[in-house]
Structures are given as structure tokens and as C-alpha cells.
Amino acid sequence: MNFNQRIAYKIIKQIIACILSGIVIIPFLVILVNSFKTESEAALMDLSLPNSFRWENYSVAIERGKLITSFFNSSLYSVTSTIISVIINAMAAFVLSRRRTRLNQFLYFFMILGIMLPTNYIALIKVMQILHLLNTRIGIILLYTAINVPFGTFILYGFVETIPRELDEAGVIDGANPIQLFFRIVFPLLKPAIVTVALLTFMGIWNDFMLPLYVLNRASHWPMTLAVYNFFGQYQSEWNLIFADIVLTCLPVFVVYLLGQKWIVSGMIAGAIKG
């Protein structure tokens, strides 16, 4: 490949990247710009700037959509489930990786099947009813924790294998019990993978719509995704308020992704290399 061909190849790649980026960015820009417009201006759904920015759209959306309560619920579900899930995943990955028995190998492959298999909501709801966890905050937190076990264990399993077993032996010689060995020696070394799994888990839970729709019937327990859905049903003609509601729902995930983008990319690359 000569110099001109390489330049042409790079230009084509840049054009394709710009087109793909535009497919993602343009709809978000439409939502953002129209969230500051009047009702009649937002009905056009174009990228033209508003005659005057109506910041009060956001305060109205927060008040009418009860977003403060929904924000608390989403934060509770996402943060709590992520913390519990990451700890369980790391401990499971450590045990399954260090003890390569046939039973543990079977359990590992059985667990990661959850990445591919779809969720049976009928059986899930029935189990939730029997355990009296349906329509409760603790119930959906436990569900999110369980659902994210396969993916988190799969990512962390490869990282644990890269940690030398000599560190385990040194810790045991120094008198560390299994809990101390894990939390004081192994867990800190898993930081890149743990941050990656935590960020992806948090964003997945925050953006989830289907699970709360099936297992939460009380409006006081709804996360922000259901609050947007309900808000759209009530104010479907007021697109400026709907767009403001969507922006407020997406903003926390957008901020978390920007802050953790370095960890996500580096963690996934390292996991692909090490695993």
C-alpha cells in the first residue's frame, strides 16, 4: 500500500467514523436543543436554536414528573446493586479461579450462561411473589445484583488468573485468613477490572426499563426510566417538557461515563489481553 492509498484509507475511516458519530450525536442534540424551546417550537423537532432559552422547562419537568423521588430510587437501585454485585463477583471469581475443581469449573460455566440466556419474567415474577419481594425496593436490588453476577464474574475471572499465586502463599505464611487474603491482597490488585465492572453495571441498571416495569407497580418506587415513560403518557403533546425530562434522566449516566471512560476502555482492553 503506497502513501496515497494510506491517506485515502485514513480519510475513508474518518468519514465512516463521523457518519456513525452523527447517527448517535444528532438525536441527542435534537433532544437537548428542543428541551429549551416553547411547546410550539419543540413540536417541529429540528436543530434550530430557540428564540429564547426556557430554563424553566427543567423545573417544570422535575415538579410534574416527580423526578426527585425517581432520582433517589434510581440512585438507590444502581449504587446499592453495583456495590453488592461487585463484591460478590470478585469473591466468586477469586474462589472459582483459585480452586480449579470439576465442580467449580461447572459452576463457572453455569454462571456465565446467564450472559446469553434471556430472562424468564413469568417465572421470575412468580418467585418474587412467593418470597414477598415483588413491588419492593429490596426485591429489585436483589434482582439487579443477581442479574449482573454472570457478566461481572466473567470479567473478573480473567483478572484473578493474572495475579500470581505466590502472593496468596505469602499472605497465608504471614497469618492471613481467607477473608484477609482476599480483601487485603487480591481485591486491591483487581482495581482496574472492578472499576470497569462497577461502571458498566451502574449504567446498565440506571438505563434499565423492562425489569422495573414488570416488578414495580407503585409509582413511589419507580426509577427515572419509568418516570419518563409515565411523563410521556401524561404530557405527550408538550415535547419541550418531555425532552427536558429525557435530558435529566440521561445526564447522570453521561457524567458517570465521562468520568469513568478511561477506566472502562483500559479495563476492557486489559481484560481482553489478560483473560
Fold classification of 57-274 is: MetI-like fold (1.10.3720)
pLDDT of residue 270: 52
Dihedral sign (CA 67, 209, 201, 268): negative
pLDDT of residue 267: 56
Q: What ranges do the domains of the chain cover?
A: 57-274
Average pLDDT of the chain to the nearest whole number: 85
Task: List pLDDT tens digits, range 155-189.
Answer: 888 888 888 888 877 888 888 788 888 888 888 88
Residue 258 has pLDDT above 50, yes or no: yes
10 Å CB burial of residue 27 (0-12, 13-18, 19+) is exposed
Q: Which residues contact 54 (CB under 8 A, 6 or more apart)?
A: 36, 37, 38, 240
In this predicted structure, which of 5-9, 101-105, 259-263 has the lowest mean pLDDT?
259-263
Q: Give CA–CA dist 236/243, Å, rounded.
A: 10
Q: Which residues contact 274 (CB under 8 A, 6 or more apart)?
A: 158, 159, 161, 162
pLDDT of residue 266: 59
Average pLDDT in the 259-267 region? Answer: 67
Average pLDDT in the 81-94 region? Answer: 93
Percentage of the chain exceeding pLDDT 70: 94
Average pLDDT in the 81-110 region? Answer: 90
Q: Give CA–CA dist 209/257, Å, rounded.
A: 19
Name the residue type at position 208: D
In this predicted structure, which of 88-97, 192-201, 254-263 has the lowest mean pLDDT?
254-263
199 near 182, Cβ under 8 Å? no
Residue 272 has pLDDT above 50, yes or no: no
Task: List pLDDT tens digits, range 54-87.
Answer: 888 898 888 888 888 999 999 999 999 999 999 9
Q: Give CA–CA dist 57/63, Å, rounded.
A: 10
Q: 135 in the Ramachandran plot: left (φ > 0), alpha (ψ -120 to 50) or beta?
A: left
pLDDT of residue 264: 65
Task: List pLDDT tens digits, range 130-157.
Answer: 999 989 999 999 999 999 999 899 888 8
CA–CA distance from 199 to each of 63, 74, 206, 259 (Å)?
29, 15, 11, 10
Residue 190 has pLDDT above 90, yes or no: no
